[in-house]
Amino acid sequence: MPGAPVSTEVSITSLGYRKYWYNGSSTDRSVHSPELWTEMSPSMDCDIVAALKMDQALITFQNQLAEEVQVYYTSDYCYKCVHQLLTSVKSDNSSSSAIISTKFTLTIQVETKTRNNSLCKWSQTYGEGGHYLINISGVLSEPSCSQIVQKSPHNVYLPLLVSTLVLVFLSVLFAAAPYIYRRRNTSKFIRAICCRSPQYSMDNNEPPAESDKPKPTRLQSLDTFRGFALTIMVFVNYGGGGYWFFQHAPWNGLTVADLVMPWFVFIIGTSVVLAFSSMQRRGLGTGQLVRKVTWRTVVLLLLGFCFLNYSPRDGPLSWSWLRVPGVLQRLGFTYLVLSLLQIFWGQISIPHRTPFQDLTLYWPQWLIIVLLETLWLCLTFLLPVPDCPTGYLGAGGIGDSGLYPNCTGGAAGLIDRWMFGDNMFRYPTCREMYQTTQPFDPEGVLGTINSVLMGFLGMQAGKIIIFYRGSNVSILGRFGVWALLLGISAAILTKCTRDVGFIPVNKNLWSLSFVTCLGCFSFVLLGAMYLVIDVRGWWRGRPFIYPGTNSILVYVGHSLLGFYFPFSWDMRVWDSHWELLFMNIWATALWVLISYLLYRKRFFLKI
């Protein structure tokens, strides 16, 4: 193998058993099973050995002992997973190779085949594209494992760094261009008056300066927040450059991809309060509002059913595998519940301002939300699930020492399988790492209850904006208090850990801690954007405000057209993140450009 060998001794540590496997590109939509780990002998063609894809490395084990050994592996991200066989290496200077994942830290353990005792064990995050040689030498009573780097790995973060610097440069350039243009035109105007055209006179016929224009009544920070979340959603849905932190977490934990949908739900809640309060003040009746809400809900459900989740099994007109839950279905149902809360129990007039008025005037809404959350807690922790512990929140499969293989999602999975059968998401994010066999839908029934809670937190932000309009200090202060309370709640529920808290942060389950954590982030982000955009006017929200005002078109469009040129193409380079990252950024930028052109034409798709 090419490259100068660099000898490195392996650190032998004692870690728990965890597992991860990977095959193919991160953009590969197929489901990978553990059998797709590639195992090779040194006699294999060198071209095959060298043809590593992104997030993969080659590791070769050379056994100099007099007995055959077996190599097992686990992943740092897999909670209490049963260790899996990576390869077997025969005795007397035999060797065996395997392709491994470089996304997470791997714990590798070498054991004898007959005696089943551990010879050595180490934990390491391997580098993408690297070739590693592990020498197993000594005697069985005192074995040693040493590592040699035969080919240095790629700098996996270099594409991301270069892309970030280019985007920052372009952002600064576009931000500075209007000021440079106005300064240049102003200088020409002054020279024309002072030096060339003294006959000009200053009069009041010129249009008012931009600063004299009336400020827009629409909350610009909310559109910007929506566009910011949508832009990130488009990027991660297209692949996120293949980086694991731009993809959904396998089970517990939080990645960038897990942030965007809760932000959307939060924004829906805020928009419902602002929009319906305005319509009610204009005199729209309850019947008109209910019809409007029903129409929008039906359209969202149909878009989700017929376009984005349609996956026929028995031909183009088959509905046997129609996915009933889905992103737009959940957004539609959440919008329906929040809108009805605002229509029937929303206060239009404010008799007099009192402390906590934005809470006390809406006590019927709070009562309904408390009852819904109590229902979620009771079903999650008290509903008996066959062959599973009551209150189980794990992924099942090989997790939790393999004791509950068919318990994926606990009560949430049981309810969805009972209601939807095969008509649900069959390839959850935990399937690869945890080797689960049960279908599990991240947009299931129980999670939708907490989606309503997330939207209700957004409604609270809208009420604060209405009740304390004109007092920006009060608005920002209340946002800060809510963020603090929700952040503390998330810390208590999770014990500031990923897996061992009372209720771990889990996007698949939309757990209570997930809602409180993302609610904290939402208040912080909306407050920051409100200060910078609507209060200080330091930023106009560009370019995120453009997709934010055409969110339905961008979301549906990127979902339907994402696999067609010019949004994607057949990649030529699969061994690093360069081309995939460029393609995903390019596709995202195209949708921002499309939304900008539609914004200029004043075309906004509404339902």
Query: What is the residue type of 140?
Result: L
Q: Are residues 439 and 525 in the same domain?
A: yes
Structural domain count, the chain? 3
Question: How far is it, in rounded angstroms, from Cα 218 to Cα 605?
Answer: 17
Give yes or no: residues 68 and 128 share one domain.
Answer: yes
What local confidence, expressed as pLDDT, does residue 193 receive? 44
Q: Is residue 29 part of a domain?
A: yes
Task: Let me know if residue 22 belongs to a domain.
Answer: yes
Among 60-69, 143-152, 473-482, which range has the highest average pLDDT?
Answer: 473-482
528 plus 427 within the same structural domain: yes
CA atoms of 350 and 358, how far apart (whole Å): 10
Tell me which of 347 and 80 has the higher pLDDT: 80
Distance between start and end Cα atoms, the chain: 59
Same domain, 195 and 275: no
**What pLDDT, on the 0 to 100 scale, is given for residue 201?**
33
320 pLDDT band, cuts 50/70/90, is: low
Q: What percent of the chain has pLDDT over 70?
A: 82
**Choice among 127-131, 178-182, 288-292 with the minimum mean pLDDT:** 178-182
In a domain, 587, yes or no: no
pLDDT surpassing 70 at residue 306: yes
Task: Tell me, rounded to whole angstroms, the distance of Cα 148 from its chain centroid.
Answer: 36
Which of 95, 129, 151 finishes a domain?
151
272 lies in the same domain as 141: no
Indicate whether 172 pLDDT > 90: no
Average pLDDT over residues 150-177: 88
Condensed to tens digits (0 to 9), the pLDDT of residues 459-486 reads 999 999 988 888 899 999 999 999 999 9
Q: Is residue 162 part of a domain?
A: yes
Highest mean pLDDT out of 3-12, 29-38, 173-182: 173-182
297 in the same domain as 414: yes
Q: Which residue has the tokens 């349609």?
A: 310
The verdict on 391 and 449 lying in the same domain is yes
The model's confidence at residue 347, banded by pLDDT at 50, 70 and 90, is: low
- From 539, 554, 576, the end of a domain falls on 539
CA torsion through residues 408, 412, 415, 418, sign = negative
* 229 Cβ contact list (under 8 Å, min separation 6): 259, 260, 263, 264, 267
- Whether 586 is covered by a domain: the verdict is no
Residue 595, in any domain of the structure: no
Per-residue pLDDT tens digits for 232-249: 999 999 999 999 999 999
Three-class SS state of 275: helix
Q: Which domain holds residue 115?
A: 6-151
594 located within any domain: no
Residue 226 identity: R
- Report yes or no on 211 lying in a domain: no
- Alpha-carbon span 127 to 75, nearest angstrom: 15
Residue 142 shares a structural domain with residue 191 = no
- Name the domain boundary from 513, 539, 565: 539
Residue 570 burial by Cβ neighbours in a 10 Å radius (0-12, 13-18, 19+)? exposed
In the prediction, which pLDDT does 481 show?
Answer: 96
pLDDT at 164 over 60: yes
Q: What is the mean pLDDT of residues 88-99?
A: 89
Catalytic residues: 248
Other beta carbons less than 10 A from residue 107's beta carbon: 22
Q: State pTM to two decimals.
A: 0.85
Tell me: do 135 and 186 sit in the same domain: no
Contacts of 499 (CB under 8 A, 6+ apart): 79, 252
**Three-state SS sequence of 479-531:** HHHHHHHHHHHHHHHHCCCCCCCCCCCECCCCCHHHHHHHHHHHHHHHHHHHH
CATH no. for residue 129?
Answer: 2.60.40
The residues near 236 (Cβ < 8 Å, ≥ 6 apart) are: 246, 247, 256, 257, 260
Q: In what order do the strands lie in the sheet with 56-63?
A: 6-9, 142-151, 131-139, 56-63, 94-101, 39-40
Q: Which range in 190-204, 318-332, 480-494 is most confidently predicted, on average pLDDT?
A: 480-494
Q: Residue range 121-149: average pLDDT?
A: 88
Query: Is the same domain home to 194 and 266?
Result: no
* 189 and 289 share one domain: no
At residue 260, the pLDDT reads 93
Q: CB count, 10 Å around CB of 221?
A: 25
Is 375 in the same domain as 505? yes
